[in-house]
Each structure stands twice: as C-alpha cells, then as structure tokens.
Amino acid sequence: MNLILLVVLTACASWLLTGLLRRYALAKSLLDIPNERSSHSVPTPRGGGVAIVVSFLVGLALVDGVSVSVLVALIVAGAWVALVGFLDDHGHIAARWRLLAHFAGATWALAWLGGMPALPVYGVALDLGWAGHVLGAIYLVWLLNLYNFMDGIDGIAGIEALTVCLGAVVVYTLAVPGVSPSIAPLAWLLAAAVLGFFVWNYPPAKIFMGDAGSGFLGLMVGLLSIQAAWTAPRLFWCWVILLGVFVVDATVTLMRRIMRGDKFYQAHRSHAYQYASRKFGAHKPVSLAVGAINVVWLLPLAVLVGLERLEGVIGVMIAYAPLLLLAIAYKAGARESQEI
C-alpha cells in the first residue's frame, strides 16, 4: 500500500477508535478518578492508548518492505505488552509479574531482531556478545516503564512520541538517504497512530492513554531504535538523544527515590515535569516545552550524530547535560512536600 495513504488511514483509524473508546469508557464508568497522587482534577476516561496499539499493528501488517522477523518481533511483543498493560488498567497485576512479562516481551523481540548490534563508541564498534543482549533487554524494559512513568499530564506522552518519531525520520532522510525508505515507514506509522490519539489527549485531555498505550509506545520506540542500529549503528545514539527528556527525568527521579528508600514502584507525582506543571498551574505549557526541547535542542544534535559530525556517546552527553540541570532545578525525585 502507498505509504502516504497508509499513514493517513492509520491516523484516521486511531482518531476514530479513540473516540469510540472514550464513549465506551464513559458508558461503563471506566474513569481515572483524581486522588492525592494525580496530576489532574477532573474524572477522565482512560484506556485510549488501545487505539494506538490497534491502528499501528494493523498498519504494520500492511506496510510494504518490512521483513518477517521485524513483523514478528514488533507485533507479538507489542501485543503482549499492551495486553499486560490493559489487564493492569482494568485490575491489578503485581509489579514483579508485570516486570517478568515485560522482560519476556523484550526478550522475544530481541531474539527476532537479532539481538543488540555492535555500537560505535569513540570510533570502535563495541560488541558485548550475550552481555550486550542482556543490556538490550534492560534498555527495552526501562524505556517501556519510563514511558509509563512519564505519561502523567495531558499531552506529554503524545508530544514526546510525535517529535521523537518525526525527528527520527528527519535524521534518516538527512543521514542515511539510501536506506531511509527501509526504516522510516515504521517511524511514520507510529507517529500517525499517536497523532490520532493525541487529538483527543491534547490539553485539556478528553481521554487518557493508560498503561496499555504507554508501555506499548515505550517498547516500540526502543525496538525501532534497535532496528535502525542494525541498518546504521550510529542511529541508535540518535534515538537515545531524541528520547532525552523522558530518559533523564525518569532516571533521575527513580534513582533519587531508590536512594531515599522509597517504594519506587508505587504511584507518585515527583517527576520534574509534574513539579513543573504544578508550578505553572497547567499541563499545556509543560507538554509544549517538551516538544520544543526535542525539536530545538535534541533534534539538531541527533542530526549531527547521524551525519557523523559528532561522536554518538559525546552527542548523548552534550544533549543530556542541560536536561540533567533542568531535572535538578525542577526537583525530580524530591519529596512531594518540597514544592518549587
């Protein structure tokens, strides 16, 4: 199928399905009720991320030129993680079982993608063998969970996915034009699936994504980064740079909570973006600021790495340095009584 048509149809399907899911959630009273851990104040339907899952996976099966191994990796692992998230949205799955399920999905996908490729580090192709594959699984599970952690205010997860996926397309087009048609369609498709949902989730949100959608998105961007690295290893660092806002905020918050002895797996609202939304009294400026950082700061650095004008690890360090300062400035991981 023509890619442009498929992207348009995917976005429209996601938009329509999100609307239907919203009506269903309202009819069945499947609402996210605000509590002391919430960043919102109005009961809101949840579970809209299922629209992203369904529209992307259907589109993935229709896109031309995708290998069987990539299809099996993304469709099976993505559907599995989404199912686990869906069940957790509608009940409760203990954290240890969710984590085991996440590692199972990541391991399956890595096995079909060929594991982690050798990555360029200061000009040397670093191949860690089985240790690299284990680190790859940890990387995927961390992205899956941090995307869940960062989906806490209206629009932020959608803006992140849109700017990261479209940023990757820009990098592919400029840095690897010869092979871009073989890897860019999946980034286009994921962006389209997110866009349809985002129309409903733009602040003030009419429906929330839920764990099914956020975990699925985190896994997909991780798998697309590994798929790209098998094509051109430096592209892995480009994805890591583009994901910087979410990676830094979630990692700093988690580390501070662990060091303080908190039950880090419990719900909280001590991420930097959550403190920022309370400081500004609204979700929209914070979500839009994340998009602006991705486009104005992180995308140019990712392009430089893609063009081999900047070494990948150095590019990541340069990209993350001001993000780390921002996370500290906005009290990422601080006790929730320590407002800015």
Domain ranges within the chain, ordered by starting residue? 3-235
Percent of the chain with pLDDT over 90: 86
Report d(CA 162, CA 287) in Å as an integer: 12
Query: Taking each helix axis from N to C terminus, what angle separates 130-150 and 95-113, rounded to the nearest 10 degrees?
Result: 130
**pLDDT score at 340:** 47
Query: In this predicted model, what pLDDT tens digit does every residue of 226-271 receive, in sequence order?
Result: 999 999 999 999 999 999 999 999 999 999 999 988 877 777 889 9
pLDDT beyond 60 at 95: yes
Report the amino acid identity of residue 171.
Answer: V
Report d(CA 68, CA 182) in Å as an integer: 13
17-26, 41-50, 149-158, 315-324: which range is least confident on average? 41-50
- What average pLDDT does range 180-205 have in this prediction? 96
- What average pLDDT does range 274-302 have in this prediction? 97
CA 44 to each of CA 29, 114, 136, 160, 206: distance values in angstroms, whole numbers, following the listed order? 9, 41, 36, 21, 7
Query: In this predicted model, what pLDDT tens digit does every residue of 11-43 receive, in sequence order?
Result: 999 999 999 999 999 998 888 877 656 676 688
**pLDDT score at 37:** 60
44-53, 115-124, 260-269: which range is least confident on average? 260-269
pTM score: 0.95
Report d(CA 120, CA 130) in Å as an integer: 17
pLDDT beyond 60 at 119: yes
Percent of the chain with pLDDT over 70: 96
**pLDDT score at 67:** 94
* pLDDT-based confidence at residue 160 (cuts at 50, 70, 90): very high
pLDDT beyond 60 at 338: no
Residue bearing the bigger pLDDT, 226 or 335: 226
205-209, 252-256, 332-336: which range is least confident on average? 332-336
Helical residues (DSSP H) of the chain, grouped into ranges:
3-27, 49-62, 68-89, 95-113, 130-150, 156-175, 180-201, 210-231, 234-242, 244-260, 272-280, 284-293, 299-306, 312-329
